[in-house]
Each structure stands twice: as C-alpha cells, then as structure tokens.
Amino acid sequence: MNLDYFFSGIDTECYRYMGCHKKDDGIEFYLWAPHARKVEVFMSRDDFQVYYPFEKVDDRGIWHLIIPNCECIYSYRYRIWKDDHHFIEKADPYAFYSEKRPANASVMYDLSQYHFTDKAYMDHRHFSYQEPMNIYELHVNGFMHSAPMTTYQELKEQLIPYVKKMGYTHIELMPINEHPFDGSWGYQATGFMSATSRYGTPWDLMDLINECHLNDIGVILDVAYVHFATDGFGLGRFDGQACYEYEDERLSRSQWGSYQFNLGSGPVISYLMSAANLFLNEYHFDGLRMDAVSNIIFYDGNKNIGVNESGLSFVKRFNYSLKQQHPDVVIIAEDSTDYPNVTVPTEYQGLGFDYKWDLGWMNDTLKYYAMDPEYRQYHHNMLTFSMAYFYSEKFILPLSHDEVVHSKGTIVDKMWGDYETKFAQCRNLFLYMYTHPGKKLNFLGNDLAMFREFDEQKELDWFLLQYPMHDSFNRYFRDLCQIYLKYKAFSCYDYDPLSFKWIDADNNKESIYVYTRYDEDYCFLVVLNMKPISYHNYPIGVPFTGTYTELINSEKDIYSGCNMCNFKPLRTKRVKAHGLPQSISIDIAPYAGIVFITKNKAKAAPVKEPHTRKRVRTAG
C-alpha cells in the first residue's frame, strides 16, 4: 500500500487495500473521506447489528479500522458524520459485491477463493491487429432466460454454444457494475468494483468467463467511467461534499443528469484505474470498451466548449498503465468525435486505445440503406466515404445496442421497402459489413433479423427461427461469420491499405459498388447492387486472369433469395472493363451482395512489424 501513489493518481491496485478485506482472522477497512468529521461502519446479518468507529490515519482523509476475530459474512454501510449531529450512510465504493436492488448495502466478499482453470487460454492470449475479431454485444438479461431475471449460470449454458456455432470470437457484456435502475443498462452505476448481484455472485461471473475461455471465446467488459448515478447511497457528495465529482456545479452534472467524475483528482483516477484493473486481474476479462469517450475528450462531449485537458491526461494514463500490465488485452473507445490519434500509442502522443468504434461508418451506412433506392444515386459517396478516412485510426465497425432502441427501429426494420425487400437489403448490408476492412461488432438480435427493439426485461425472440425468412437469415449470417474467420484477407490486413482496392466506386447511376480484398493466397471480388434491378452478363474488371468462383451470394435460395446466382466458375476474358485488361461477366440479382474468390497471382510475404502490424507488398 502506497498512499502517495493513491493520491497522485497512479495507483492501479488500490482495490487490494481500500474497502473491506479479510485479514488473518479479522476484517480490515480503509476508506477515503477527506471532509468527514468521523466515520463508522454499520454491519448487519440476520438480526445482528453492530457499529465500529474508524481511526483517521492520514490528514488527506484516509480512515482505517481492523475488526479482529470477525468473519467475512456481513452486509455493511459506512456512516459518515458531516458534523457532530448529522451523518449520511453510504455504500462502499470499493465493495466487490452488493445487496440485490432495491437494497443497497455492500456485502463482504472474498474474490480469491475462486479457482480458474483457464491457464492454457491465458498463457496463449495475445493482442494482434491481424487476428479476426467478431464481437457479439449483449445485455446479460437480454439473451435467453426462463425466469424474470437470468443468471450467469444460465448464460454460460445457453450463450457459449450459440456464440461458437455462429462464429463470434468475443462477447461484449454491457456494464455489469452495480447499478440501481434496470433501465440504465448499467451505464449509471453506483459500485464500480462490484459485479451486480442481479445475475449471481462474483464467483458465478468468474465461472462464466472461465467457461468462455475454455471454449476459446474472449470476453470484453463495457465500462462507463465518465459519470455515475446520483442515488444517495452512492458516490455523489460522498462525505457531504464533492469527492468523486467536480466541485464546480457547472461541470459536476452530465447531460444524462448523472454526476461526472472529476478526472483531475488523483484519488478518483486511482479509483477508476483500479476498478478496471480489478476486472482484468481478478475476473480475467480480455478487454474493456470505454463508453462516451467524447465526454472525456471534450467537456460534455461538446467540441465548442473545449478540450478537457484533465480528461485527456486521465485517458492517456489509464491506457498506458493498463497496457503496461496487460499487453495482451484490448481497450476500445466508443468515441463519436473527430479528435485525432485516438488509437495511436501514448508514447507517440496518442490517446492509447487499441480500437475505436467507427460511428461515422455506422451512421452513413444505416442512412443509406434506409433511403429509397431511386435517390441513392445522389448519395453514392455515403458508402465510399469511410475508406477515405479508414486508415487514420484502427476502427471497429459497430451495429450496437444504440441502434436498436429508443424507437430507432432494429437493423432489419431500418431497411427501405416492404418485408421481403428489407430482408434482401439487410443481407446485402451484412455482406458489405463483413467484407469492409475493420473488426466487427453486432448486438444480440441482429443475427435473427429481429423487428422488436431491445428490451432489457425480455429475452430474444427465439421463436422467429420457426419462420423460414428469419431462419435462413440466421444461417446466412452464420455463413458470413464463417467466411470471415476462414479467410484472413478479411481480418489479417484490415489496416494495410494494400489489402483493399476499389474496382468501381463511382457507378452512382446503377448504384453498384465493386472492390477487392487480398491476402497472400487469394483475391476476393465483392459486388454490391443497391437497386431493385437485375443484370445479366454484367462486365466486371478484375485484377488477375483466371477463374472466379462465387463464394457467397445473398440472393441464394437457401437464404430466401431469388436464386439468381453464378453457379459455375467464371473464366476471365481479354475484354477491358473498369480500366483493367481482363474481365468476367456476371449475373447480378436485385439487391444482391456477392463475393467471388480467385487465386492471388501477386503473392508477397507480409513484413513483420510488431508495433504497426502493417505489411508491404504489391497488390494486383
């Protein structure tokens, strides 16, 4: 324990001594309450209740208590006296477990007694931009359950087989920090070190992660370190005055009505970094996705108000410190700003995230697919613009929970047209997504083509798989994921400009897009038709002579399409098209998304550059 580290904001392990811990045959407490007159702990179990007074051991506001011969079995609250006559009761910010809402006391818990069996996975775990990443984002209670609230045990039994079957590499849990209101989905928390008791114990959560690892599935935790809930038992005005939030009222409240963390405070920085480190160390999470990074970069997320320099300092320190300790985990920014170098290492003046959500791609793409095809010719660049800036950051393509709530409509429902037309375009959309450079993230229900928006109180509409259109869509989605995993062209060189090339980016009249993806062995030709018009013997310029075989077609009958496909391999002809000396003639169904495969005849070995993970080679 080094309190100077704690107050300097460089402590990533204060969870090991702050709060309540088993010590020999007793219990030890440390608490930071700089404005308190005195502090007591109120412990209870069944009909037993008792108070113990703390001793102030540091003028900066550290209080300490040892209770000998005490078992780790009690619920407890801190009674913090503002003066000789007035006190407030607070939950422990450093508690590992809490009572199930609406109760709100902290609960003593010994995390060390769980024994992981995932050593082989952890020893092999590594971070690389060249690995496929296909993330399944979910709310714990939104997947499948047989009771009003699911459990981690149920999730372990039901989720893992589905994720493996579909071809996802990771799951991303929406926040599981303790939070009072179900409808906040965990984004307004009260306990940042406490895994919510809604779904089970901390050991149950560890068991879920352990089982994921035994099945080679990574687990990412969504964290909200910008703000916290205003409930009276929480962090707000913790000892009667501002401790975790800004003192200035103009800065202390967020646009969501919650308190904003004071990211210029040493103890607050140590608290948040330690909360993250706790879940990486003790729970074996494989990564973190940080919510609302725009509110860290700019005050209230508003570029016009100005850069939050303390926020920038915090996030750089956060990412640098955690990556030093866990170089094999991934840290992702959900950032809607155009602030530069978000995914550049901190040692090169960046913010130090590994990936950033491409929210520009998401917005442009969904607006385009919602548009009447007659008018798409006037907005053709909405699907080409992403490649103009793509290599400025390490992007993930997200179709997340944010896009299927608050009356926005689900992904399939956003598509233009009638029922069958929506499905045809949605199949096209996901082929575009899975062949576009960048890692992938989809929210639960996207792969079922659900029409009902997400509701945290309900499980997925699994009954939809009884209907051919939804069942075939789920099969199509699974086939796309399997292709993504099988061929490294779609993941290994995401951030190498030489692995992607436009063949036709300007055909706005017909609303057809053509591009290629490469690896050392194969070239993949992608064709997207955005209109309800079919074409026969349509000429496509190709980079290599040889045979092109249709790998997947979104209009195949097994996917409930019209079955206008290219069933036979296509030989190139010495006919110029798209500025290339050879071409193939293909059939294109309305709204079809098609991928062809051929041998790459311009092979070159990738250059080994561990930091940038880029390669240099000649593309066709």
Q: Which residues are catalytic?
A: 291, 334
Sequence letter at residue 166: M
In this structure, the number of other CB atoms found within 10 A of the CB of residue 532 comes to: 15
Phi-psi region of 358 (alpha: psi -120 to 50; beta: other; left: phi over 0): beta
Closest among 418, 424, 415, 427 to 366, alpha carbons compared: 415
In this structure, the number of other CB atoms found within 10 A of the CB of residue 233 comes to: 20
128-163: b (≥16 Cβ within 10 Å) or e: ebebbbbbbbbbbbbbbbeeeebbbebbbebbbebb
In this structure, the number of other CB atoms found within 10 A of the CB of residue 269 comes to: 27
Q: 304: Cβ–Cβ under 8 A, 6 or more apart, which residues?
A: none
In this structure, the number of other CB atoms found within 10 A of the CB of residue 85 comes to: 7
DSSP state of 618: -
Report the half-sphere exposure of 356 (CA within 13 A, side-chain side).
Answer: 29
The CA distance from 42 to 38, in Å, is 13
The CA distance from 482 to 620, in Å, is 26
Q: Is the peptide bond before 102 cis (omega within 30 degrees of 0)?
A: yes
Closest among 173, 263, 257 to 223, alpha carbons compared: 173
Sequence letter at residue 45: R
